[in-house]
Amino acid sequence: MSERKVLNKYYPPDFDPSKIPKLKLPKDRQYVVRLMAPFNMRCKTCGEYIYKGKKFNARKETVQNEVYLGLPIFRFYIKCTRCLAEITFKTDPENTDYTMEHGATRNFQAEKLLEEEEKRVQKEREDEELNNPMKVLENRTKDSKLEMEVLENLQELKDLNQRQAHVDFEAMLRQHRLSEEERQKQEQEEDERETAALVEEARKRRLLEDSDSEEDAAASAPPQPALRPKPTAILDEAPKAKRKVESWEQSVGTFGSRPQLSGLVVVKKTDLDGKTPQGQRTPALGAVNNGKAADPAPRMPGTSSLSQLGVYSDSEDSSGSN
């Protein structure tokens, strides 16, 4: 029984491989391959962006009459995902990259430009050093200085990292928390001061408005005429109640500060020299002014109501005898 998976095939004794017919295929024939977009591009027809890594079913062919160091160059055909326009690009073995051919534009890539610039500078430097030995020495001196500076910077960074390795993060957090609390407290105090200032300003403004309104009201109010007493107002007054006079007050008099009989006694006015000035008349006894007893002359110090009462009683005795 033969094996299911045959590794060796049977060749008959009269097998001649030269008699096998060969297929004549064109050299520019195309193959369908599955690939991803090698770079970001934008379609020229519709403006659709095609990003790097998007998969396509592409057609592959070999570029005729283009070889780099014996390596063939391949061309790929893809279609835009929006308008189905054909886009072509090919390999670039010299730069290990791809070049855009037709149907789209490659987006800007700063990294690629930087690499190209570094390569150009390096190539120019090698060309200069090839024919100028002094330039080689200068470049070596510059490189040594640059290396020393890099080492110094690296040492500084190491020292800085060592110093920061001993930092107490708990203390830093605690200090930060305290500073945050102080800042909040300060902000709260500022808010309170501002609120108090606003309240005080509002109170002053209210007082000013009240005073202005009072002044306006006083200015706008008409002046009231002064009230004149009516001539008949005395008739409307209630009569005053008379105090009952006791029997002993009728004969002796009251003990007030101004006795009732003081108006009946007149004392002669005398100067310091004992002369009476001419042209003066002594007021008559019992003179009445407007229905009231006239005020007597000022009494001499030392006289009292009892002494005047005694004089009055003597005068009555003398008048009775006559």
Structure confidence by residue, pLDDT tens digits, 213-224 = 777 776 665 555
Nearest residue to 313 via CA among 245, 254, 264, 248: 264
Structure tokens at 302: 């030392």
- Express each pLDDT in 30-53 by its tens digit: 999 999 999 999 999 999 999 999
Percent of the chain with pLDDT over 70: 65
Reported pTM: 0.37
Residue partners of 232: CB distance under 8 A and separation at least 6: none
- Express each pLDDT in 17-29 by its tens digit: 999 888 888 888 8
- CB of 86 closer than 8 Å to CB of 76: no
Residue 136, pLDDT score: 85
Nearest residue to 221 via CA among 231, 211, 213: 213
Which pLDDT band, with edges at 50, 70 and 90, does 242 fall under? low
**Angle in degrees, CA 40, 42, 47, rounded to 5:** 150
Q: Supply the Cα-derived Rg of the chain in whole angstroms.
A: 69
Nearest residue to 61 via CA among 90, 84, 39, 104: 90
- CB of 80 closer than 8 Å to CB of 42: no
Residue 266 to residue 286: CA distance in whole angstroms? 9
Residue 150, pLDDT score: 93
On the question of pLDDT at 116 being above 50, the answer is yes
DSSP string, 162-181: HHHHT--HHHHHHHHHHHHH
CA atoms within 13 A on the CB side of 86: 8
